[in-house]
Each structure stands twice: as structure tokens, then as C-alpha cells.
Amino acid sequence: MAAHRYDDHHRDVQGGGVRAAVFGASDGLVSNVLLIVGLAGADVSSGVVRAAGVAGLLAGAISMAAGEYVSVRAQNDLVARELEKERQALADDPEEETEELAQLYVERGMTIDQAREMAQLVMQNPEMALEVHAREELGIAPDALASPYVAAGWSFSAFAIGALVPLIPWFFSSASFVIWLSVAAGVAGAASIGATLALATGHSVWRGVSRHVGIAIAAATCIHFVGLALGAVVQL
């Protein structure tokens, strides 16, 4: 009988890539749909829509990647600072840290003797002690920190793909109905994101699709009327 691995049926959900990809794709899709629909509502030429759509894709993807890198790096620096403080505390006052750990085990149901024995065993290995204290006291998993480079890469790629979806019809047609093809592509993209998230999280696919599509349609409708108003003002 094969040995069971506690993590053999779990996925890594703490690396930051999944969150960055989902957020990037959704943001890229919705923001470029809004940009395209708003410009179309203002009755600008198809060339302007294409140029603005590409500019929005590049600017948004770069901005998202930079923001993701900075935020993840800042979070990791804060974690590193707290870990260093905990490492220093373990070195300066191991007895007090042992007692703190034992108290945490008592709160989880161990007897005082069991808790102290477990805490003393953990404290014999400095690296293990740091990891356990970080998890138990700070809620930090030192070996599961997100990579700022991975998060930035996922964010850039996902945003670019999402922003490209509603822009594709404008590369093949300049007809008046192309705006509806763009909206349809945006709705299909939103539905795909909603369905993917629902399947990944085990939630209702219908609910996930409805939520993402509803948000996209509501936002596009609002910005289209804003575009119509701006177009009317410009023509005055």
C-alpha cells in the first residue's frame, strides 16, 4: 500500500500566480470593453478605437504588472521583517518563546505537560522553531510566500489576454455592428472567467457566469451612455 501524502490532492493556492492571473484577466477584459464601448458611443472612427484599445492593453498590462510586483514585494518585505524579529526573540529569550508555544498548544487542546514537551522538541531545531512560531503566532508560512516576479508575469499576461478579447473584432471589421461583436466577445470572455473560477472553487457555474457577465454588461451599459453624452457635447 502506497504511503499517503497529505498534499497529494491539493493545489498550491498561496503562490500569488492564480490570484494575479484571475484579477488581471478580469480587469483587462472589463477595462478594455469599457474603453471600446465608450469610444464607440462617442462615435469616433474605428482606427481611433483600435489605437486606443491597443494603448489601453499595453498601458494596463504594464501598470498591473508593476503594481503587482510592488505590492507582493512590499508584503514579502513586511513578512521578512516580522520573521527577523521572531528569529531574534528566539535567540534572545528561548525560554519565554518555549512557554509561548506551549501555551498555544494548550489552547489547541493539549495538556500542559504534552504542550511543554512538544514545544521543547520544536525548539531544539532553530529553523523549525522559527517556522512553527511564524505559523502559530503570526499566521505566516515562510516557505509559501508569493514571488513578485511570478505575480507580475501572470498579471501582465492575463491582463493583455483579457484586454485583447473585445479588441479582436476591430482588427477585422469597421462596420457599424462591430461594436456588438466586441460586446459579445467581452460577454463570452466574462462568462469564461466566471465558469473557470466556479469550477476551480467548486461553486455554482451558473452563479459564477451570471455574476461576471452581469458586472461586465452593467459597466458597459453605463460607460456607453457616458460616451454618448461626451459625443453629444463634443459635437456642440
pLDDT given for residue 3 in this prediction: 46
- Asked whether residue 7 is domain-assigned, the answer is no
Q: What is the pTM of this model?
A: 0.72
Residues 65 and 17 sit within 8 Å (Cβ to Cβ): no
Q: What's the domain count of the chain?
A: 1
Q: Assess whether pLDDT exceeds 50 at residue 99.
A: yes
Task: Judge whether 32 lies within some domain.
Answer: yes
pLDDT at 104 over 90: no
Q: What confidence tier does 151 reach under pLDDT thresholds 50, 70, 90? A: confident
Is residue 1 in a domain? no
The residue to which cell 479582436 is assigned: 168
Q: DSSP string covering the chain, please?
A: -PPPPTTTT----SSSHHHHHHHHHHHHHHHHHHHHHHHHHTT--HHHHHHHHHHHHHHHHHHHHHHHHHHHHHHHHHHHHHHHHHHHHHHH-HHHHHHHHHHHHHHTT--HHHHHHHHHHHHTSHHHHHHHHIIIII---GGGPPPHHHHHHHHHHHHHHHHHGGGGGGGT--STTHHHHHHHHHHHHHHHHHHHHHHHHT--HHHHHHHHHHHHHHHHHHHHHHHHHHHHHHH-
Does the residue 6 lie in any domain? no
Q: Is residue 174 within 8 Å of residue 46, measured between CB atoms?
A: yes
- Would you say residue 235 lies in a domain? no
Between 63 and 101, where is the model more confident? 63
Q: Are 189 and 165 in contact (CB under 8 A)?
A: yes
Q: How many CA atoms lie within 13 A of 118 on its CB side?
A: 17
Confidence of residue 91 (pLDDT cuts 50, 70, 90): confident
Domain assignment of residue 3, yes or no? no
Residue listed under C-alpha cell 465608450: 38
For residue 124, what are the CA distances in angstroms to 67, 90, 99, 130? 41, 11, 14, 11
Q: Return d(Cα 47, Cα 51) in angstroms, integer.
A: 6
Residue 101 lies in a domain: yes
**In which domain, by residue range, is 70 found?**
17-230
State yes or no: pLDDT of 4 exceeds 70.
Answer: no
In a domain, 56, yes or no: yes
